[in-house]
Chain A
């Protein structure tokens, strides 16, 4: 495959002015990230700071009801409450070792912003976070956390005022500040080498999950499931399972309200091929190539594009991508709380919902391992608004 490509997807579609920092980053991945100094320190931080390995939980009550075993990989238990921290601590350490002083990031749900701000604080880096004005409003709790960690949060008023516009704004800023600044991209998407870099840093999820599952059960799970926004928690979970042919792998995209023709966040299932944010991928777009607004009840899945490796895994048939809509995710959110004492992020609730919604087609006794990418405390305002509008 061509460098930076997954089949025909991926690439480096950026202004020439961004090529030097991308090439510099590629080089740093080959040298710094492979060094013992980086590996030792990163491993130490994963354990001592992030709290890895995260637990794997058997959902006893739900499993009894469903007729199959539901397992959760508990990224909600990682420091700051989501898988995002695995990536940001790695990139922050890389930034420090590259001799740069500032972390720049975009955020949708705010989870990646919080994780970046936290990593910056830990490693004494300056931090600037771009966030769509709509998201600033719907995730105000996370904005406060970022500011408490010392980050500057910049609301983005252009375009749809959500994640895609925050990415545009951050890319513009990176052009100007590339000498001192690393763009700590939040998901396994964007221009090469970001999809690869983020997958490397997130694949700890699948590596741990596989080892934990095999140790407990003496065999591999039958299904591995994760939600797909940009695709970082999913690719991190999937990577070690992809070569295991017996394992069915399912990525779950956000279908929005589920009404016909509604705005959604399911570019693999409902989008077409095109170029945005540095990559050739599947996009929600008009026939004329203008990017459409996306929608999901979960801010972290609300993105009109997706990481290129997922499109490749879809087209090659290795991974199945399904759609879960807002209502089904809210139902899974409540179910998990009431039955298992776990409050999942609305993003992760999409993955849980896939298991609940497919209970009739999943063979009895199967083992279904779902990546619980984050915790749902941040989503309480959205949940309350949703139930006020649609009832309990």
Chain B
């Protein structure tokens, strides 16, 4: 290299393509791979290296076989983390991802963005329908990953599950099996609604059938983070309190000292759950009631087991459509909120309160794991403008925590409020009249 005559062009110091430029979205390519020669194209299109590969090689053909007899007729055992073979009754459980991949460890050492294989970006062109060739009879078995992860061969009755993660990002790293059984969920929903009947919409009460509750696996990203935050603002301490004037003109006045307050905190978070479907992540209560499903968080995600589609037999599922980069703003927002909660106790001396004016977040490292979490959902569609509103009553499939939205009979509630208001007004008028 010593006889090199023309030096290689150097990167610009400022402007496009320099470190001063806004960095591109990770995963985006400035050139179209399709127009490049094959070796370059192969390299560009090769999958990004994954820090933690959670794919189970033994399940790649879609068949989950009983380790004892080899049958594929496998179901989750209700209320447990076990799988049971319907032929020989053999029971076994999946490996907890926490130990299998070391997810609980070294949070304060986290650097950069670590993505488990099931949390990788979703292939935009991947179809929802996945086809398997049955090894027993040669038939083709199709699974629709929009709402199911398992299907049965019509000819030989083998059960297939979508276990291959590279397919389309539909397959998560881990699944947390249902523990709350359907009867239990029905009872909790019934109890929730029984306490809210007086002003409930008449049609809702008439059609209320909690037995129609559905067990759904909802997609989440479970995030660990290592971050630092700074907040700055003003705090006030009361120095004097006194009154001026007499009788009805008596007024209270305050003197106070104003302080500039700065705080810094380094912290880690363990297993923060973020909805990874756009619809579920939208918590705008004017247009939906997804905040109900959000409220039943958190789950005991430490007990999640390695992905195995057999855990989904008998349940439906929703597909993830958000990648890590989509969710990063929400993660940062939540990390800032956590930091603000952490510093609150350090500003107690400001008895007139504090007003934070600036905040700053440094995310040193994050780890993302894609997980299916178990939720019992009872839904009721209330007709109305703009397609009405879908109300949910949700039961956490692990803890049983229940929350719901019961549609209100508007006129009944207004009447009750006006009646009480009228009574109060009558009392007020009587007092005013009596004292004048």
**Pairing of A with B:** no
Could you list which residues of chain B lie within 8 angstroms of chain A, going by C-beta atoms?
A: none
Could you list which residues of chain A lie within 8 angstroms of chain B, going by C-beta atoms?
A: none
